[in-house]
Structure 1
Amino acid sequence: MTAQWHDACATDDVDDEDLITMKLADNVVAIYNTPEGFFATAGMCTHEDESLDGGLVMDGVIECPLHQGRFCVRTGRALSAPAVENLVTYDLKIEDDRVWVKV
């Protein structure tokens, strides 16, 4: 299946230094609003398939609410145990105050 752009949400839907998760094309996607801009990754932690919704976002890092594994929201890179597998990242663009994610 070819990746397609999806109209995910309004920019206002994601608070500063926070995230929302949603299902897009059968994938759970997390959309982050950081001081560096908006980013999108897989919305489930790679450690135990726990939703990142409710996790703490600070300085471009998401901390899983279950076991506190940390990931870079820009690159998806796993930063601390118990998370060792990186998150999938998705292309994202902003058009007319809407967040579009390529999934």
Structure 2
Amino acid sequence: MSDHKEWKRVASVQDISADTGTLRVLVDGEAVCIYDVDGAICATQDKCPHGNASLAEGYLEDGKIECPLHQGVFDIRSGRPLCPPVTTPIQTYEVKVEDGAVLIRPQP
């Protein structure tokens, strides 16, 4: 696998909220949500495509994030919408953790 897109350090694992399991960060002017799913770090776009809501403010459970505005649910690993009213997938990011630092890059 070639590194055609550069990895970007966006946070530390310890920055992710222990209460919500989420963290909102800005990467090149775009909001990204970082998740801690039982120790596995994942990342998606932060803005719900159905409405102007931050997924970092949503409800995280079993690898799914529920939008706080309209209760649409996404699989955070694939970005796939799981129930109405959301129908558009969200952007996911490849994630790696090095020495406690969270690095991301867009999925191809």
What TM-score do you get using the length of structure 1 for normalisation? 0.90
Report the residue type matching 1:42 in the other structure: Q
Q: Which runs of 5+ in 2 are unaligned?
A: none
SS of residue in 2 equivalent to 1:76 = coil
Provide the secondary structure at the position in 1 that maps to 2:14.
helix
- Counterpart check, 1:63 vs 2:66: yes
How many residue pairs match? The answer is 102
How far did residue 50 of structure 1 move? 1.6
- Greater CA drift, 84-93 or 15-24: 15-24
Give unpaired runs (5+ residues) of structure 1: none
Secondary structure at 1:75's aligned position in 2? coil
Partners of 2:5 and 2:50 in 1: CA distance: 25
Judging changes above 3 Å, is the alpha-carbon distance between structure 1 residues 36 and 78 closer, same or farther for their aligned structure 2 residues?
farther
C-alpha distance after superposition, 1:3-37 (max 9, x if no partner): 32211111111135611111101221110000160
Give the TM-score normalised by the residue count of structure 2: 0.86
Which residue in the other structure is 2:35 paired with?
Answer: 32
1:4 aligns with 2:35: no
Q: Alignment RMSD, CA only?
A: 1.5
Q: Percent identity?
A: 33
Q: Runs of 4 or more off by more than 4 Å in structure 1?
A: none
Identify which of structures 1 and 2 has the higher relative contact order when contacts are C-alpha pairs closer than 8 Å and 6+ apart.
Answer: 1
* Residue 72 of structure 1: aligned partner: 75
